[in-house]
Amino acid sequence: MKRLLTVIFIVLAAITFSVNAGNGKAPKYIFLFIGDGMASPQRMVADEFARHAGHDRLVINKMPFHGTTRTGSISSLVTDSAASGTAIACGEKTYNGSIGIAKDGKRHLVSVAEVAKKKGMKVGIITTVTINHATPAAFYAHRTNRGQYYEIGLDLVASGFDFFAGSGVTRSNNKKSKLYKGDINDLAKKAGYTVLGRKDDFSVLRAKKGKVLINAPLPYDIDRHNDDPFTLAKFTEMGIDFLDNEKGFFMMVEGGKIDYAGHANDAAANLREVLAFDDAVRVAVNFAKKHPDETLIVVTGDHETGGMTMGFAATGYAMYMERLAHQKCSAGEFNNKLKAAMKENKNFSFEDAKLLLTKYFGFRFDGKDKDPMQINSKELKQLSDAFKKGKLPHAARLVMAAKAGIGWSTGAHTALPVLTTAQGKCAEKFSGFYENTEISNRLKALLK
């Protein structure tokens, strides 16, 4: 009997805790981090790489609450970033290519960012890619076609959101648009935004007044120079400093180039984008330590890109994440270096290309030992044939992935569900198996 009473007490206590967790005030500070193209494989590859490098596990993988999120759109089980971004931002499914518009192609959807703004909170939208790209646009724009970059830029200005930071505004001065009113950056200035570029004085942010639009293009993190101050983590830090106020803020932070590296099947660039994304989340986690009862952090992905798998036939049941450390630049940057070398040397040959492959991918061609980075006869033919066809960078990144034990099934998106993790106030609400629309709906419920 005593044991039964103890069990009943524990159950009642758990129920009471669950009910009370939902009855308190809404989080004052809400962070929503979206890894574009990031599902479980991308998170785990980066986690394993960090562990082999002697670092701690990724912050995003240590959060106490976990959910599995379905990503399909109305038009396809395989979503694009416009439809998935809209689902996460607005809480309704729509067609691939549609931004902030309902499935009827007409009704404007309301994003959680817009709800937060109406509630009196400040709002920040941050990304590593262009600010009017699909995912960030889903939080402020309403267009039937994600390619309407200029028109999305007009929506950006009209949103009145307090802080934007990213790699500029695509087609900001598209005079062919039927809605053309002038360069988006000039329109933003007229609307009260302080528009800043890489070379501008950022001390104006300290005043915490007005609205800010930061156009500071970010390269792949693997291509970033060590003295470059601009990173996703730095943008997040700037956003926190600028947005913090008595009524709190909502901030969406996107790791957009995880997706780009997935499309390119570039494993080394991909994992470093995930690590850079994790660094940005760490900034929010450190902020939350100062506001433990007021901060909610949710981390998710909009879809998976590349069909990344942890396992490759050539390595059997083994994986060697540490080998990816040999790659010193993205495949795209390697392509630039290769073209520059070929332009300088009109007689550039595959033998010359081997030197570049050794320098930037760590491949060895001497055959003198059993170094795992030695190129075997099959790999040599693969690289040689690709050189002749002008596709050496693509072959190099695939050889690198294979040596690490990583496979790719496509250069496009897949229908894999993504992992959603959360910590902080009301984070328990993001556990379970649910549609991506539930992320917005559950956040909106907290803001009511």
pLDDT over 70, % of the chain: 95
Tokens (6 digits) for 153:
């830029």
Residue among 404, 187, 247, 418 at smallest CA distance from 315 = 404
Q: How far is CA 179 from the centre of its chain?
A: 30
Other Cβ atoms less than 10 A from the Cβ of 31: the count is 29
Mean pLDDT of 176-189: 98
Q: How far is CA 130 from the centre of its chain?
A: 12
Other Cβ atoms less than 10 A from the Cβ of 241: the count is 13
Q: Are 388 and 293 in contact (CB under 8 A)?
A: no
Look at residue 310 in the predicted model and tell me its pLDDT. Answer: 92
Instruction: Say if residue 431's pLDDT is above 70.
Output: yes
Which pLDDT tens digit goes with each residue over 61-92? 999 999 999 999 999 999 999 999 999 999 99
Query: Tokens 């943008």 identify what position?
Result: 235
Query: How far is the C-alpha of 327 from the C-alpha of 330, rounded, in Å?
Result: 8
Mean pLDDT of 431-438: 98
The single-letter DSSP state of residue 55 is: P
Q: Is 20 exposed, middle or buried (0-12, 13-18, 19+ CB in 10 A)?
A: exposed
Please compute Rg for the chain using Cα positions. Answer: 23
Tokens (6 digits) for 101:
């518009």
Q: What angle do CA 404, 405, 411 make, to 5 degrees?
A: 95
Q: Is 161 exposed, middle or buried (0-12, 13-18, 19+ CB in 10 A)?
A: buried
| pLDDT band with cut points at 50, 70 and 90 for residue 24 | low
CATH number given to 27-308+415-447: 3.40.720.10
φ and ψ of 30, to 5 deg? -120, 125
Q: What angle do CA 213, 216, 219 make, to 5 degrees?
A: 145
Instruction: Say if residue 17's pLDDT is above 80.
Output: no
Exposure b/e, 209-233, CB count within 10 A at least 16 = b: eebbbbbbebbbbbbeeeeeebbbb
The single-letter DSSP state of residue 129 is: S
| pLDDT band with cut points at 50, 70 and 90 for residue 432 | very high
Instruction: Say if residue 18's pLDDT is above 80.
Output: no
Residues ≥6 apart with Cβ < 8 Å to 89: 100, 109, 111, 112, 113, 138, 139, 252, 440
Query: Tokens 């600028």 identify what position?
Result: 242
Residue among 114, 115, 72, 113 at smallest CA distance from 93 = 72
Query: How far is the C-alpha of 306 from the C-alpha of 301, rounded, in Å?
Result: 14
Q: What pairing do the DSSP bridges indicate for beta strands 249-255 and 211-215?
A: unpaired
The single-letter DSSP state of residue 325 is: G
Strand (E) positions, 380-431? 406-407, 413-414, 418-424
Q: Are 125 and 174 in contact (CB under 8 A)?
A: no
**Torsion sign, CA atoms 313, 315, 318, 322:** negative
Range list for CATH 3.40.720.10 in the chain:
27-308+415-447
Mean pLDDT of 340-345: 96
Look at residue 55 in the predicted model and tell me its pLDDT. Answer: 83
| pLDDT band with cut points at 50, 70 and 90 for residue 212 | very high
- For the entire predicted model, the pTM comes to 0.93
Q: What pairing do the DSSP bridges indicate for beta strands 406-407 and 418-424?
A: unpaired
Which pLDDT tens digit goes with each residue over 168-180? 999 999 999 999 9
Which pLDDT tens digit goes with each residue over 291-316? 999 999 999 999 999 999 998 877 88
Mean pLDDT of 358-385: 94
Other Cβ atoms less than 10 A from the Cβ of 77: the count is 10
Residues ≥6 apart with Cβ < 8 Å to 273: 128, 220, 221, 222, 255, 257, 258, 260, 261
| pLDDT band with cut points at 50, 70 and 90 for residue 10 | very low
Which pLDDT tens digit goes with each residue over 238-252? 999 999 999 999 999
Look at residue 90 in the predicted model and tell me its pLDDT. Answer: 98
Exposure b/e, 266-295, CB count within 10 A at least 16 = b: bbbbbbbbbbbbbbbbbbbbebbeeeeebb
Residue among 170, 134, 177 at smallest CA distance from 153 = 170
Distance set, CA 156 to CA 161, 168, 231, 383, 423 (Å): 8, 12, 22, 45, 29
pLDDT over 90, % of the chain: 88
Query: How far is the C-alpha of 377 from the C-alpha of 385, rounded, in Å?
Result: 12
